[in-house]
Structure 1
């Protein structure tokens, strides 16, 4: 298991988990009524998310992920045993990477051993899912030809009897974990930037850093001269238990967005990624000359402090568990001292964690050029 390493603030207290969306925490609240922790290097300040437009400046570019969230959790049975299938990623060969979990009696799930090969899972509507091979770095393959993946937890599977998009739309629900209070409608997991894909592709889990944005907030950003550069990265399922680094995911950086990013870098604008998924997408489109160009396909890039970032100047993201591999990316953007300082302050000031929680804006003191 790869982790971000020990953090001085230790485990996140359970009461700091955001259990319901912000707009369901009381009358008059909206998605944008979350708190915003801002780091300029190791200097920390506290804001409301609605202050974001005045914290940015004309010429900045926000890189946003347009991937829509799928209703990726589907009940099924292996023989007489109830299970829950989390649909993660569709490979080029039509198979799906899936995780088969077991119900925990509280409306969420816990991990279970995958396999063996040829295990059949009966799904609603007459569909059948057959596990074929684990996503193993030493032989399983991942459906994209790279050979990467995860052994044991995630498997490649084929679905027969009904198209997967129909199974998800008619019988699926958003994936949720035990820190949340109850199921929420799929709309609660869509961001203002989400665009349904014609081929039914999407993210198994919400690109949640963009969740607090509203149409009104986006309009204010644009009116202040902040540009939006849409990219797409379809996220797979995270590991709630193992905190593994991400496996290969589909991404696309359009030509228009690549040009916007290039213009910001040529001027005085900062390139600020909204979410770790946006960082992965745009950093996967950087050429050897440091220029972002239109690109797409599969990316297996893992951004670490050793690799660093080549284009991204800042990052807007949620708050991550101390073992999460996402923290390696945060350190690549802002440095370890800045991340440690911010997280210690977030715990002290009782910020809320996870996809319905508060957000963190990491900015440099000066943009290196």
Structure 2
């Protein structure tokens, strides 16, 4: 973990609602571009992002779609809120119990005859394992009917689930928005293809990034399921062979791709769970550049960014972003980190 968190986010820089609600389009957020080798920075609009790529580059997107993971029910200890984090089987999930007083064996009754029972503690504390009385598509249908998106304290009012989706998300499973790709509109994706910039997709279902009460997942023990299709793996390997750059759209994509590197230093198609922790000094094998949001000082995502760029460059850029009133969190502005000298 980083030994120092050298910045504070002023309250007025919390993005509280989707940019398209005020400016009409998703791609109207701002973009800070950083060079990996020297920390050189540019300030632009996200709508101009295609100009920073070149023919032969490959952008890899996470097409996981956000589900509504907040469920409210009743139990012998009173009303209970749970937050789904990770699917373990057709009927079991790792969940966060927001209420403090719970125990193994506690059953919670949700609307629509859905019942969940705490069957064990997860090794990823404070999460627990919950078994539901429905499974498969029936359980997913129940979750969609009664669940709500997670709303952290900086969001002023409840927002519809659609606000927490990318335009290309097709595989339901994330409990929080894989937000790095949120600013892409269909027009921007079409522009990328028109310029000869390649696009590929994988799925990584993001778990909870915050456990309330100033608790965060351990970066060394934060399993998340992912799937890399063969066509995506093949395109990545061919891009690298031809000297193109692989740009990850989001830290979730970095985590999946770097987890799938074999002994030949190529990416394999796989469907599994990753526990990979990427930090300062980590040797990136696949990913050359990263598009990401702006991260809180407590977030382990900053550790990953330190694998791309020196901490001094990174924190100088964040201080500049604060000075220029960039917005933070899932509806905020974006940061593109690219190799220098290209």
- Name the TM tier (shorter chain): over 0.9
Count of residues paired in the alignment: 334
Unaligned runs of 5+ in 2: none
Aligned to 1:158: 131
User: Does residue 1:238 correspond to 2:235, yes or no?
Assistant: no
Per-residue deviation, residues 99-158 of structure 1 (Å, max 9, x unmatched): 121xxxxxxxxxx4363111221211121111111211xxxxxxxxxxxxx12x211110
Whether contact under 8 Å (1:132, 1:156) holds in the other structure is yes
Counterpart residue number, 2:238: 263
For each residue in 1:142-175, what CA deviation from the matched residue of structure 2 results, as whole angstroms up to 9, or x when unmatched? Answer: xxxxxxxx12x21111011574212211111111
Match of 1:346 in 2: 321
Report if aligned partners of 2:77, 2:101 keep a CA contact under 8 Å in 1. Answer: no
Contact 1:73 1:86 in 2 (8 A): yes
1:29 aligns with 2:24: yes
- Residue 276 of structure 2 corresponds to residue 292 of structure 1: no
Larger CA deviation: 250-259 vs 300-309: 300-309
Displacement of 1:358 after TM fit?
0.5
Q: Look up the match of 1:106.
A: none
- Partners of 2:79 and 2:29 lie apart in 1 by 37
State the TM-score, normalizing by the size of structure 1.
Answer: 0.87
Deviation, structure 1 residue 283: 0.8
**Contact between 1:99 and 1:114, CA under 8 Å: does it hold in 2?**
no
Compare 202-211 and 258-267 and name the one that shifted more.
Answer: 258-267
Alignment match, 1:17: 14
- Partner of 2:336, secondary structure, is strand
**Which sits farther off after the overlay, 338-347 or 210-219?**
338-347
Where does residue 123 of structure 1 map in the other structure?
110
* C-alpha distance in structure 2 between counterparts of 1:134 and 1:238, whole Å: 18
Q: Deviations over 1:39-71 (max 9, x none)?
A: 013111100000001111111111100101001
Partner of 1:81 in structure 2?
A: 78
Which residue pairs with 1:177 in the alignment? 152
| Mapped partners of 1:338, 1:82: distance in 2 | 47
CA displacement, residues 16-57 of structure 1 (integer Å, 9 cap, x when unaligned):
100011112x2x421111000110131111000000011111
**Aligned equivalents of 1:259 and 1:166: distance in 2?**
34
**For 1:1-369, what aligned pairs fall within 5 Å after superposition?**
3-8=1-6, 10-24=7-21, 26=22, 28-41=23-36, 42-79=39-76, 81-92=78-89, 94-101=91-98, 112-113=99-100, 115-136=102-123, 150-151=124-125, 153-160=126-133, 163-196=138-171, 201-239=172-210, 240=212, 241-244=214-217, 245=219, 247-366=222-341
Task: Confirm or deny: 8 A CA contact 1:87 1:204 kept in the other structure.
Answer: yes
Deviates more, 1:85-94 or 1:292-301: 85-94
Alpha-carbon distance in structure 1 between the residues aligned to 2:176 and 2:319:
27
Using the alignment, how far apart are the partners of 1:93 and 1:184 within structure 2?
A: 28
For the aligned residues, what is the CA RMSD? Answer: 1.7
SS of equivalent residue, structure 1 residue 251: strand
Compute the displacement of 1:181 (Å): 1.1
List alignment gaps of at least 5 residues for structure 1. Answer: 102-111, 137-149
